[in-house]
Structures are given as structure tokens and as C-alpha cells.
Amino acid sequence: MSVLLDTHVWVWWLTPGSPLSIAERSALDAKAERGELFLSAISLWEAQMLHAKRRLRLPLRFPDWLAQAADERMIRVVPLDTDVILALDALPESFHGDPADRLIVATARARKLPLATRDATIRKSRAVKLWKA
């Protein structure tokens, strides 16, 4: 089954010293090999913002890392489109105020994909199906 990665899970999967377990990393590696990993386009922007604020340590220069991290042979980037915006519009007003998190959840809902996330607010919301390794 395919899965959408939250920004932090995507970054953790691709950087050394992450809090992901070996089982989680292995499951994501297997999904990448089968073409079952997806990423909301907003995650590209979030990674750039984290890098610009020096909150993202990378083993490569950011442009090189991003080119590899978003390689279509490994992960499919889901664009911001009409379906995502309609799913965003359908989220409860009380749901998470962070715009990027709202777009990530809306992307998962629009594409009917479970979301791999450790974000406590998203997990508690029950607004999206969660991925379990």
C-alpha cells in the first residue's frame, strides 16, 4: 500500500541519525523500490525553509540533497491541485492551524493515502488515516 510522508518523516528517512526505527526505514526503503512513496509538494518548501533557518543538517549542499531526495524514481511529489484544495476546504475549522500541515493532510485525504507522521496534533485529530510500519 502506498503512503504519503509528512515532511519530517521524509527528512528523517533520508538523513543520518534520525529517530526512525530500523523497521520503519526498511519499510520505507521497500516502498520506495515499489514506487509507493508520495510527498506533498509543500514538503519541498518546508525543507527549504528548514534549511534556510539552519534547522536542517544535510550531508550535501541543499540543491544536491533536494534533487536526490525528490527523485521521481524514489518518491512521487503530489502537486497542489484542485482535489487537494477541495480536501483542504473540507477539513474542520478546528483542525491544526499550521498551513503546511493542513496541506499535507489534505493531500493525503485527496489521494486516499495513509500519512506517515509523528506530529501529535495530526495523529490526535483523526482527520487522516495513519500509516503504521
Number of domains in the chain: 1
Model pLDDT for residues 45-86, shown as the tens digit of each residue: 999 999 999 998 888 899 999 999 999 999 999 999 999 999
Angle formed by the axes of helices 42-52 and 7-14, to 10°?
60
* Mean local confidence (pLDDT), 2-30: 95
Q: Does some domain include residue 8?
A: yes
Answer whether residue 96 shows pLDDT above 80: no
Domain that holds residue 64: 3-125
Q: Does some domain include residue 10?
A: yes
Find cell 534549511 and name the residue. Answer: 51
Q: Does some domain include residue 133?
A: no
Mean pLDDT rounded to a whole number for the chain: 95
Q: Does some domain include residue 117?
A: yes
pLDDT at 133: 83
pLDDT at 100: 96
CATH code of the domain containing 89: 3.40.50.1010
Q: Does some domain include residue 99?
A: yes
pLDDT at 57: 85
Distance CA 39, CA 45 (A): 11
Q: Does some domain include residue 131?
A: no
